[in-house]
């Protein structure tokens, strides 16, 4: 075990009230690499509240993306920006196909996408829409890879299906060793990012990573993962956000 990772997706209280169900989705895996390292692959997606098939779109998007990246790493041992672009273009076609089969507009499959592939020597990040990927810059110090993409209104953003040419895609490959990473959807954005200073609210992540670093066994991770779910559904959080919320955390041994 090189990566210690936990992640939970929790239905927002407004979604519970309107019986909409959870439209966030999360998928992550580790894949052994030929050099003995282990790649961490994670994708998070937030389906648009007013899109009919938001939940299906977000869950298909994260599962397909993680699966395809895993297979690629298994086959070739490496991944580049253009691989990601190809995967997302194919995803667009899949979602278009699903929409066509149901004679619906592709907008009904609107969802965001946040993704990371991290190996010992490089990291690939990609993002369409809001939410954020946070990485360590120094021990116990975190910075967003990108600031969340919102439109004029707080609830408007870009979606994967907005553009077949992926005009909204942000993608970067860093030749760095990243030891800690968090990914979250916009349901947690107001709690974890300081809008005025455009910075990460450090104590939030310091409090969580502190415990994850101490875990040494699989069963520790199971306990922390369960507690993460309880925490995301706790009153202090629900008083501040009624949206679906996903939080993924990973630290390198």
Partner 1 sequence: MDEYISFEQIPFGSESFADNPEPRCPCVLLLDTSGSMSGKPIAQLNEGIQTLKKELLADPLASKRVEIAIVTFGPVTVESDFTTVGNFFPRPLHAENDTPMGAAINLGIDMVTRRKNEYKAHGIGYYKPWIILITDGAPTDSHSKAAMLVREGEAMSSFAFFAIGVEDANFDILREISVRQPLKLKGLMFREFFIWLSGSLKSVSSKNPGNKVNLLPPTGWAEV
| Contacting positions for partner 1 (CB under 8 A) | 14, 18, 46, 48-51, 107, 110, 150-157, 159, 161-162, 186, 190-196, 201, 203-208, 211, 214-217, 219-220, 223-224, 227-228, 231, 234, 236, 239-243
Minimum distance from residue 159 beta carbon to partner 1 (Å): 6
- Return the percent helix, strand and coil in the chain, to nearest 5: 40, 30, 35
* Closest CB to partner 1 among residues 65, 185: 185
* Closest CB to partner 1 among residues 55, 79: 55
Minimum distance from residue 167 beta carbon to partner 1 (Å): 15
* Closest CB to partner 1 among residues 36, 218: 218
Minimum distance from residue 236 beta carbon to partner 1 (Å): 6
Minimum distance from residue 54 beta carbon to partner 1 (Å): 8
HSE at residue 47, side-chain half, CA atoms within 13 A, is 29
- Residue from 200, 93, 92, 62 nearest 136 by CA: 200
Minimum distance from residue 125 beta carbon to partner 1 (Å): 22
Minimum distance from residue 1 beta carbon to partner 1 (Å): 13
Give counts: helices (H), strands (E), the chain: 7, 12
Local structure of 85: helix, strand or coil: helix
* Closest CB to partner 1 among residues 80, 230: 230
* Closest CB to partner 1 among residues 90, 206: 206
> What end-to-end distance do the CA atoms of the chain give, in Å?
8
* Closest CB to partner 1 among residues 103, 219: 219
Beta bridge partners of 132: 184
Tell me the H-state helices in the chain: 13-17, 54-76, 81-101, 189-192, 202-214, 218-232, 235-238
Mention every residue, 6+ apart, whose C-beta is less than 8 A from residue 40: 3, 5, 28, 30, 116, 117, 118, 119, 181, 250
Calculate helix-pair angle for 81-101, 54-76, nearest 10 degrees.
Answer: 140
């Amino acid at each position: 075990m090189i990566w210690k990772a936990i992640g939970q997706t929790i239905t927002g209280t407004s979604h519970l009230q309107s019986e909409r169900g959870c439209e966030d989705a999360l998928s992550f895996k580790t894949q052994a690499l030929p050099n003995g390292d282990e790649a961490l692959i994670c994708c998070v997606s937030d389906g648009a509240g007013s899109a009919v098939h938001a939940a299906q779109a977000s869950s298909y998007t994260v599962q397909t993306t993680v699966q395809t990246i895993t297979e690629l790493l298994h086959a070739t041992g490496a991944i580049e920006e253009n691989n990601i672009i190809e995967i997302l273009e194919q995803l667009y076609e899949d979602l278009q196909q699903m929409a066509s089969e149901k004679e619906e507009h592709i907008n009904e499959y609107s969802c965001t996408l946040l993704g990371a592939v991290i190996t010992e020597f490089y990291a690939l990040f990609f993002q369409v829409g809001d939410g954020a990927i946070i990485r360590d810059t120094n021990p116990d110090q975190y910075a967003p890879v990108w600031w969340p993409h919102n439109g004029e209104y707080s609830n408007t953003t870009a979606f994967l299906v907005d553009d077949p040419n992926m005009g909204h895609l942000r993608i970067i490959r860093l030749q760095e060793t990243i030891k800690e990473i968090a990914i979250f959807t916009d349901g947690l954005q107001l709690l974890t990012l300081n809008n005025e200073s455009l910075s990460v609210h450090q104590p939030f992540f310091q409090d969580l990573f502190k415990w994850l670093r101490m875990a040494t066994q699989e069963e520790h991770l199971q306990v922390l993962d369960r507690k993460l779910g309880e925490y995301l559904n706790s009153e202090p959080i629900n008083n501040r956000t009624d949206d679906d919320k996903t939080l993924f955390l990973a630290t390198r041994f």
